[in-house]
């Protein structure tokens, strides 16, 4: 049995570092040294988690094109099963342009929508996993939203753990749908800005307890280099778990990597403080590197961040 089914619309990130800093204004040409494709989107969470020991089953649809073949090649090279990915002739694989400035900040220009997967095989694949993970990107268009809700309700009915990351699409998601997803999820993970959109609170310490009280389950509010705040049914006031200091290179995929590590630790029965430490270290290791996809942290890179704080785990 797999640890988790990554429900997603597999995407290719086109990593584009440029000279200078945001904002970009119209007119002048920006010089770039490279445009590098990576298996991004939920692939970042999957690759980061699988490198720590999380067994993943991606469920989604890709186009019968070079970018779709690229995604399959990356997943298979990482030892990830691709049996639940559907290849659709005549469909374009989704892509995301990731602009990264000289200060390591990023902006996404993302395709959304597409095809979720073979819904006739939904029960078969949910029957082979312990949990599911999905993001708010799957709720922003009507067709994807309806299919995603079918997955959510079937997973809940079959007693699976549910991890949900609303992401930056919160303003585009129907509020009633967002409420259903938040209240059904076992674990909800947001950054501080996303949490503020839902709660109106601008600090992790205030937002996490409010999310937990409102929706139940485990509420994680990521707070960049400061770490994260987590509120649970046993700790409704929430606890701050400190982050790790590393040189900032690129913030792309840091939150995705964080959650991949958290899911691994959580599903393998680690204490919450250890789940948070591993996740914070993985997020820190991610920002110390350029890029996403295959550039998410390796196990050894995460362990080095932990060891710098005299924390030792046997992974």
pLDDT digits (tens, 9 = 90+) for 7-32: 998 999 898 998 889 998 888 888 88
pLDDT, the chain, mean: 94
Query: How would you classify residue 217: left for phi > 0, otherwise alpha for psi between -120 and 50, otherwise beta?
Result: left
How far is Cα 54 from Cα 4, in angstroms, rounded to an integer? Answer: 8
Report DSSP state, residue 26: S
CATH level 3 topology of 4-303 = 3.40.1190
Least-confidence region, from 66-80, 91-105, 219-233, 236-250: 91-105
Q: What is the mean pLDDT of residues 271-291?
A: 96
- Rounded-to-integer distance, Cα 36 and Cα 113, Å: 23
Cα–Cα distance, 51 to 295 (Å, whole number): 11
Give the pLDDT confidence of 104-122 residue by residue, as tens digits. 888 989 888 777 889 999 9
Task: Report helix, strand or coil for 174.
Answer: coil
Is 33 in a helix, a strand, or coil?
coil
Please give the pLDDT value at position 122: 95
Would you say 49 and 130 are in contact if contact means Cβ atoms under 8 Å apart?
A: no
Count of residues in the chain: 315
Domain spans in the chain, listed from the N-terminal domain onward: 4-303
Alpha-helical (H) ranges within 105-202 are 122-126, 142-157, 175-184, 192-199
Give the 3-state secondary structure of residue 54. Answer: coil
- What is the pLDDT, as a whole number, of residue 194? 97
pLDDT digit string, tens, across residues 227-266: 999 999 999 999 999 999 999 998 889 999 999 999 999 9
Cα dihedral 284/199/150/92 (nearest 10): -50
What's the confidence (pLDDT) of residue 134? 97
Q: 302: which DSSP letter?
A: H
pLDDT tens digits, residue range 174-207?
999 999 999 999 999 999 999 999 999 999 999 9
């Amino acid at each position: 049995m797999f640890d988790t089914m990554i429900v997603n619309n597999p995407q290719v990130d086109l990593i584009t570092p440029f000279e200078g800093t945001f904002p970009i204004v119209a007119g002048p040409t920006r010089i770039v040294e490279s445009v590098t494709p990576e298996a991004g989107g939920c692939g970042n969470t999957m690759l980061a988690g699988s490198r720590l020991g999380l067994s993943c089953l991606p469920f989604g649809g890709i186009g019968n094109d070079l970018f779709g073949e690229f995604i399959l090649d990356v997943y298979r090279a990482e030892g990830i099963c691709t049996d639940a990915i559907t290849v659709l002739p005549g469909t374009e694989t989704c892509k995301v342009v990731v602009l990264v400035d000289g200060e390591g900040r990023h902006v996404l220009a993302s395709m959304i929508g597409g095809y979720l997967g073979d819904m006739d095989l939904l029960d078969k694949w949910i029957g082979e996993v312990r949990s599911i993970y999905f993001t708010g990107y799957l709720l922003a268009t009507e067709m994807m939203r309806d299919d995603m809700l079918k997955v959510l309700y079937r997973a809940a009915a079959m007693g699976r753990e549910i991890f949900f990351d609303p992401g930056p699409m919160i303003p585009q998601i129907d509020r009633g749908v967002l409420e259903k997803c938040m209240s059904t999820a076992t674990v909800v993970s947001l950054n501080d800005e996303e949490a503020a959109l839902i709660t109106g609170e601008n600090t992790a310490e205030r937002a996490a307890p409010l999310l937990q009280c409102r929706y139940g389950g485990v509420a994680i509010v990521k707070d960049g280099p400061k770490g994260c705040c987590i509120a649970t049914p046993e700790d409704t006031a929430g606890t701050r778990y400190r982050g790790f200091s590393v040189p900032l290179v690129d913030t792309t995929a840091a939150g995705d990597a964080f959650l991949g590590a958290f899911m691994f630790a959580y599903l393998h029965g680690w204490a919450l403080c250890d789940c948070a430490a591993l996740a914070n270290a993985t997020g820190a290791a991610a920002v110390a590197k350029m890029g996403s996809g295959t550039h998410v942290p390796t196990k050894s890179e995460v362990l080095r961040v932990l060891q710098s704080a005299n924390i030792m785990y046997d992974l």
